[in-house]
Structure 1
Amino acid sequence: MFNKILLATLVWVASFGAQANQPSVELSAHNFGNQWEKTMSLDDQTEWLIFSSHKAGGEWVRNAFTTLNVTDPQSLKWLYVADISAMPSLISKFIAIPKMQDYPFAIALEKEGEFTSSWPKQEEAVSVYKLNRLTIEKVEFFESEQALTEFLKGLTQ
């Protein structure tokens, strides 16, 4: 019995070591258009990448930025990318993007969904990636506005 427990423990510990040694996800530099049709770049200067791909997640990011008075995420070396590819083009063109133009911060818009398709994500969560020269070092998933706001607050201090 003791040998079985010891073997199970060793296998469990070894699996953590294997996960820790997995290669990091590397992203490519990319230019996005924002809601004002200006170019925003994901490049090796970006330290934090905030990614939303569902409507509620976009609202969480907007509310968090408003609460924290973040009007220029790029000055913090952040890039906020919103995947709007699932949104019907008429809705995005005539309703969503004009509404985003009232926000005091820029949003990098992913209109096709292809570039971000391989990014780590969870359904109904906002993803935040810690980057080091376009390599994802850490991934955080937030399933509530409050949790996202608290995390981003810690990054601004």
Structure 2
Amino acid sequence: MKYAAALLLSLLPLLAHAVQTGETLAPWTLLDQYDQPYSLGSDTRILLVARDMDGAKLMKAALAEQPKGYLEARSAVFVADIQRMPALISKLFAIPAMRDYSYRVLLDRDGQVASRYAGEEGQVLWLSLDNGVLVGQKAYTAADDLKAALEQASR
């Protein structure tokens, strides 16, 4: 019986409804690395989501050497799913290190936001939005490709 319950619980994420093109994204609010709240609004054009540390490292590499405000200038926000990171590690090391980044990191501490969007580990999911409606999505596994896409987004 324990195995059946474990199997059922492991399959629940597969039953979750991933947002589809044409759907309006449900509103949410997350704190960033400075504990400042950010709410998803209609002015956000690009939502970038990293489900794990590899995805976050990909984002960091793509934004290396970029000035402060680079994502904001593109109406883009970055969500990092840190739910699996031990609380002590995140509080003492990871989040203080993120304060040195030149970009804002919205921290999904409970995995309640990132899990809404279908995406694989080891990549950055790019969701294109128009007034809160999903109009397209891509996944990036290479920092150079993500960097080039962000450069194109400024035009």
Interval containing the TM-score (normalised by the shorter chain): 0.7 to 0.9
Equivalent residue letter for 2:68: T
Find the counterpart in structure 2 of residue 56 from structure 1. 54
* Rg larger in structure: 1
Structure 1: stretches of 5+ with no match in the other structure? 1-21
2:68 maps to 71
Alignment partners' CA distance in 2, 1:30 and 1:154: 27
Tell me how far apart the structure 2 counterparts of residues 48 and 23 of structure 1 sit (CA, whole Å).
14
Amino acid in structure 2 at the alignment position of 1:42: L
What residue identity is the alignment partner of 2:129?
Answer: L
| Structural RMSD (CA) | 1.6
Q: Per-residue CA shift, 1:51-96, capped at 9, x if unaligned?
A: 11111211121221224x2421223211111111111111111111
Partner of 1:103: 101
TM-score (norm 1): 0.79
Identity %: 24
Gaps in structure 2 of 5+ consecutive residues: 1-19
- Aligned residue type for 2:80: A
Q: Is 1:138 paired with 2:136?
A: yes
Which deviates further from its counterpart, 127-136 or 22-31?
Answer: 22-31
Question: Do residues 118 (structure 1) and 116 (structure 2) align?
Answer: yes
Moved over 2 A (4+): 22-26
TM-score (ref. length: structure 2): 0.80
User: Shift of residue 149 of structure 1?
Assistant: 1.3
* Conserved? CA contact 1:65–1:71, under 8 Å: no
- Which structure has more relative contact order (CA 8 Å, sep 6+)? It is 2
Instruction: Assess if the C-alpha contact under 8 Å between 1:47 and 1:131 holds in 2.
Output: yes
